[in-house]
Structure 1
Amino acid sequence: MKAIVVMFDTLNRRYLPPYGCTSTYAPNFQRLAERTVTFDNCYAGSMPCMPARRELHTGRYNFLHRSWGPLEPFDDSLPELLRELGVYSHLVTDHQHYWEDGGATYHQRFSTFELFRGQEGDKWKGHVPSSTEGSPPPSAHTGAGAHQGAHDARRQDAINRQYLTDEADHPQTKVFDAGIEFIETNAAQDRWLVQIETFDPHEPFFSAKRHKEHYRRDYDGPDFDWPPYAPVSEPPEVVQHARDEYSALLTQCDESLGRVLDVMDAHNMWEDTMLIVCTDHGFLLGEHGWWGKIVQPWYDETIHTPLFVWDPRSGVRGERRSALVQTIDLPATLLDHFDGDPTPDMEGRSLADTVAADHQIRSHALFGSFGGHVNVTDGRYVYMRASVSPENAPLEEHTLMPTHMRARFAPEELLETELAAPFPFTKGVRPLRMPGTTFGNLNAYDFGTLLFDLQQDPQQLDPIVDDDIELALADAMVELMRANHAPRSQFERLGLPFTGPVTGEHLLAQRQQRLVAASIRT
């Protein structure tokens, strides 16, 4: 048995033909849907990029304990578990966060790996700034440093693109070249997994010119393929241009996907090879008046993700599944494929029976990012619980790997560090506990606690107020948080009980906060 995982970053299901989109040219995604099972109710869990990848290794939520960071010493890791089963694993990727401080322990878990440079602000090609390009950046641990970091990333991206003038040089192209090389080299071998992972269609939406031809319009405005994570202030024609740039890059991704399907056809791999095509999250392209992610709640466009699975054991293809599934289910699914069992710490479950017959494996799904809303859905209703105080306190980070995305924790961040008691999943190890900072600077209090009915309001434009539904979802949220061994501080931050039942008083704790948030939104 073998397995191929094709992972895209920032793949928005609303732009894919199998999910009803008619404006994106993506014939291979349609072809994929005909060869696999398409999931209609897949939700990501821990956000964004590296927290999502930690879930792909560990099969458990991590956003309630820690922000962006590496694998922890006590973490289970899928590739290592597969190695114990005699399965060889190989990673090919251009996702530059793997070789930054906050992601450096992930790719080393694979048997072998290949990394390709040049995506986004990857610190790749060296051009010394001129004296007119600004002063040296301030500390990376300050707000000013974060602003400077964004400026530096855009400057670096402009430099990188100078070396990517041919589509053959594009990092995505090289990733799929290498992935297909691995498949063709090892097609006759057994018990291997390859993860072909591209950063695309993540912003900036940098694609080959020929893919843009599918979206030609009369547009003479500014180049705009890298929207800021901010409210939309651009005119409609610029918003549409950004959407077209995203679609063009998605079309390039579609062509790369087609190459994988071709090689599976050529080697008749459908008989013994599992195929999973997935993503970490989506992206707001003007919906809700926002660009991006992280700086606003995790709306449907960003958290309700596409998922396609071919399981040669059941042989089901061309069908859809309504069962509620999540990213945390993929490790257990792959272990099951190779006759392995999930570890006791894994919260995800194998999708084998769900692929075969739409077997339900959960009633509710939890999701969020560190310090933001904690969210739960039953597939119809989505409940976004905000902090009960504007200070968003208490918020505590628990880690033995104190690094941010691109920097180590500063000494001043560690001054209040203490050893916490072990969690059940830390294998007896006491993690460090320290004051935490909301990832993405989202103040969930300002947005307020929100409840949406996706059946009546799929665009999530009109929050509803229904105490019975809210109480049921709050109860499910608490149950999942307790099962995840969330720290007491998270319950206090959200005004939820660490022990005992959820009551109407816990809903009243949000009433004033909702009024404040509503006034801010309007």
Structure 2
Amino acid sequence: MNVIWIVSDTFRQDHVGAYGNPWIRTPSLDALAAGSVRFDSHYSAGFPTMPTRADHQTGRWTMSFMGWEPLPSGVTTLAEILAGQGFHTAASVDTPYYLRDGMNYDRGFQSFVFNRGQDTLWSLIPQPGYHNESLDVRAAWRNEADRNAPQTFMGAMRWLERHYKEDFFLYVDTWDPHEPWDAPSYYTELYLPDYDGELVLPLYGNWHDVPGYEESQMRKGHATYCGEITMVDTWVGFLLKSVENMGLAEKTVVIFTTDHGFYFGEHGGLFGKMSSGKYPDGTLRPYDEPGSQWSYSPLFEEIVHLPLLIRAPEVSPGAYRGLSSAIDVMPTVLDLLGMDVPDFVQGRSLAPALRDPSQSGRDYVVSSLPFANPGDPVHSVDNLLRTLTEPPVTTITSGGWSLLYSPLEGVSKLYNLTTDTAQANNVIEKHLDVAGELHQMLVAFMRETQVPDRLLKPRLELRM
């Protein structure tokens, strides 16, 4: 049996038709979901981009022992395990941080296709005295097929043409629909018919804190994001059609998931996935400005509640409602291939849930930036160091409740996801007992995963 694992960055669960969205156009993913087990309560672990890739490749709670950094030498990856078992391990990616600055996230892949053109957001905008190769790559675009996601999927399809008769593990990772949202205009026009072609950049903060900023600008950005979702969906469909044409569908596991979502005005006006610091007058400081900092960055459902579709041979389609985590996908692959899961893996195989959706899920899941304290310099959305002005918010999800925990006094929030799916009503003062139980789950988790004392001690209390 073979495995194709597709990761599409920044892909909100509530922007997939199969998850109940009535207006988004995702026919390929909807068709995949119709033949898959759809995981309805799947959550991120480490956040954002590269911490999730570390979680995916290792099956471990990497937030507890590493940050946005190269894979440590003593950490074993899924690709390394499968390569050692005779699988041809391959990856086609355009997420820009796999290799930069010695990141070594190609470890274990015998074939590794890296498609250039994606880069840190501000380097795509011409600036005096600064140049980046992504500008050259994008300047050469003429057709949809020239763009990054299409190139990444075509790279995977070209690889399959040469190796489809082998036992393989193929990992496909496209940064789209991560910003910059620059799919061909006809995709955006599906959602904004009078789209003028403008490249809208996210603010990474509350749009109200930018003088003169109009909500319509953010809404235009959302339409361009939706356009990229539909473009990615189109190319997922091309890949899956190739799988079918090569006679692989009945002997290949197909997985689709993401790393996190994005805010488009929710929770008071957030536009981004984290929040930059502010100037003394309260206006938002651009996150790409030298000396920028990260401020309070809550992890609501729009960010941490993820899509996960798994289609496996001889597994009936359906839906699984139990809690699962991003770290669970790696051991699931090993289990489906009939391999033992190494002791170091902290994730739990979802193969039993695939075969029997009545299986219970996790008691709780933890979603967080790598643990850090205020004043620590961190990599959070790219390879640039920025200082934390506030501690990272950690989200604990359990039993229909969501606790957004902060070590700071009076900052933690509690939401009842059963009655308040939009997380509009913070009920922590009414349900301190529930908040306390979820907080103790976090403390136990941090101790179990051996988080250093300098990071554990500030989080031992629920400060109201």
Shift of residue 455 of structure 1?
1.1
SS at match of 2:189: helix
Mapped partners of 1:87, 1:263: distance in 2 = 20
Residue 122 and residue 94 in structure 1: after superposition, are their counterparts in 2 closer, same or farther (change >3 A)? farther
Paired residue for 2:227? Answer: 248
Gaps of 5+ in 1: 135-151, 389-444, 497-505, 512-522
Residue 126 and residue 232 in structure 1: after superposition, are their counterparts in 2 closer, same or farther (change >3 A)? closer
Paired residue for 1:472? Answer: 437
Does residue 298 (structure 1) correspond to residue 299 (structure 2)? The answer is: yes
- Name the stretch that deviates more: 8-17 or 352-361: 352-361
Paired residue for 1:366? Answer: 366
Mapped partners of 2:216, 2:193: distance in 1 = 10
Letter in 2 for 1:116: N
**How far does the alpha carbon of each residue in 1:320-342 deviate from its partner, in whole angstroms, 9 at most, with x for none?**
11011111011101111222222
Gaps of 5+ in 2: 276-296, 373-391
**How far does the alpha carbon of each residue in 1:354-378 deviate from its partner, in whole angstroms, 9 at most, with x for none?**
1111222421111100231222111
Identity score, percent: 26
- The 5 A counterparts of 1:29-44 are 29-44=29-44
Shift of residue 99 of structure 1?
2.3
Residue 457 and residue 361 in structure 1: after superposition, are their counterparts in 2 closer, same or farther (change >3 A)? closer
Paired residue for 1:185? Answer: 162
What is the number of equivalent residue pairs in this alignment? 415
Kindly indicate whether the alpha-carbon contact (under 8 Å) linking 2:264 and 2:272 is maintained by their aligned counterparts in 1. Answer: yes
Letter in 2 for 1:113: F
SS at match of 2:204: coil
Letter in 2 for 1:216: L
Paired residue for 1:171? Answer: 148
Paired residue for 1:273? Answer: 252
Paired residue for 2:188? Answer: 212
Shift of residue 123 of structure 1?
11
Letter in 2 for 1:200: D
Mapped partners of 2:399, 2:303: distance in 1 = 15
Mapped partners of 1:125, 1:325: distance in 2 = 36
Shift of residue 269 of structure 1?
2.0
SS at match of 1:3: strand
Letter in 2 for 1:18: A
More helix by share: 1
Letter in 2 for 1:333: T
Does residue 350 (structure 1) correspond to residue 349 (structure 2)? The answer is: yes
**How far does the alpha carbon of each residue in 1:212-263 deviate from its partner, in whole angstroms, 9 at most, with x for none?**
231233466x924321212113323222211110011111001001112212
Residue 223 and residue 469 in structure 1: after superposition, are their counterparts in 2 closer, same or farther (change >3 A)? same
Mapped partners of 1:208, 1:219: distance in 2 = 11
Paired residue for 2:204? Answer: 229
Shift of residue 171 of structure 1?
1.6
Does residue 22 (structure 1) correspond to residue 2 (structure 2)? The answer is: no
CA-atom RMSD, angstroms?
2.3
**How far does the alpha carbon of each residue in 1:411-468 deviate from its partner, in whole angstroms, 9 at most, with x for none?**
xxxxxxxxxxxxxxxxxxxxxxxxxxxxxxxxxx6x8111111111111111112122
Does residue 326 (structure 1) correspond to residue 325 (structure 2)? The answer is: yes
Paired residue for 1:258? Answer: 237
Mapped partners of 1:161, 1:31: distance in 2 = 31
**TM-score by structure 2 length?**
0.84
**How far does the alpha carbon of each residue in 1:30-80 deviate from its partner, in whole angstroms, 9 at most, with x for none?**
111111111100001001111111111111112233321110011121111
Paired residue for 2:175? Answer: 199
Does residue 58 (structure 1) correspond to residue 54 (structure 2)? The answer is: no
Paired residue for 2:11? Answer: 11
Mapped partners of 1:177, 1:347: distance in 2 = 33
Shift of residue 157 of structure 1?
5.6
Larger radius of gyration: 1
